Amino acid sequence: MTTTLVRRLGSTALLVSTAFVLGACAPNLASVEIRQLVVAQPNPQIPGLCSASADPNAPKVLTSVLDVALRDNYVALALVQNNMFRSRSVDLNRPDTRSVFARHVDIELTTSAGGMLALPGGAPAFYRVPLRGDLIETAPGGLPGFAVLEIPVITAAQGAALRDRLGCTGFAAGAPPEPFCRNDSITVQVTLRPEFQTLGGDVLSSMRDATWNNVRPYSFPLTVCCGCLLTIPVGFNAACQAAMGTMAMTQINGACFVGQDSPVPCTTCGSAPQCQRTGCP
């Protein structure tokens, strides 16, 4: 699957106060911030191609869910907002020095009580991933600029550890595991601490060890489950007749990241044991 990120500069619905200006002095709090997580939209004309709009009014993710029976990673599409005013004339044919690019993000996985999440096998619950994405430009007229970052929030290492923690394993051994039959789940609090750099060389950070934090961390609850996104359409039994062959983690039925956030009809993931309720009480 290919995901394209559609950039948008400014919004007439949003105004930025002078408190967000990055001037000659030290950067102020919330120079740049993650506004929300947005939904990837499939392209009806090009199968397998998805895009995420950087329009703040575009659909956003309301509930984040990772089904580790179907997927081992969670990809967040974060709408990033650049609150800094332009420092150059809009007539100059070059990027503004207050345009920013993403460097990396620190990810913290904690429990609902606030403690660091314990993962089997020594998998870390605090880790750093590199970031790539569009230049997040300033926008004219005192309005913020927007762009979308694709962030691998849960990597394969954490996905495998979460699967072990839930006991969501052993599908090929016969009857499905009990956590799959019960749709067991846990809630993980995810905190993103991104770091950006302006084209002028200023580092904008929300890292815990930064000497000056001028980017807000962004937190959201993630439900991690074992089989909760799998659905059996009316007219199919627990064995669910496969309609599309083998299981594939590609775009199907309007979902761009199969196994996260959206239901997965069992008719779309073939005869894989993770798509069968046969053997459940």
148: which residues sit within 8 A by CB, 6+ positions away? 5, 6, 7, 38, 52, 53, 54, 77, 78, 79, 80, 133, 134
What is the pTM assigned to this prediction? 0.82
Q: Is the model's pLDDT at 9 over the cut of 60?
A: no
pLDDT at position 256 is: 82
Give residue 138's identity as a one-letter amino acid code.
T
pLDDT tens sequence across 209-251: 765 667 889 999 999 999 999 988 877 776 776 544 443 444 4
pLDDT tens sequence across 159-215: 999 999 999 998 877 778 999 999 999 999 999 999 998 888 888 887 877 656 678
For residue 133, what are its two tokens?
């994405």
Binned at pLDDT 50, 70 and 90, residue 88 comes out as low
Binned at pLDDT 50, 70 and 90, residue 36 comes out as very high
Domain range summary for the chain, segments of one domain joined by + = 2-275
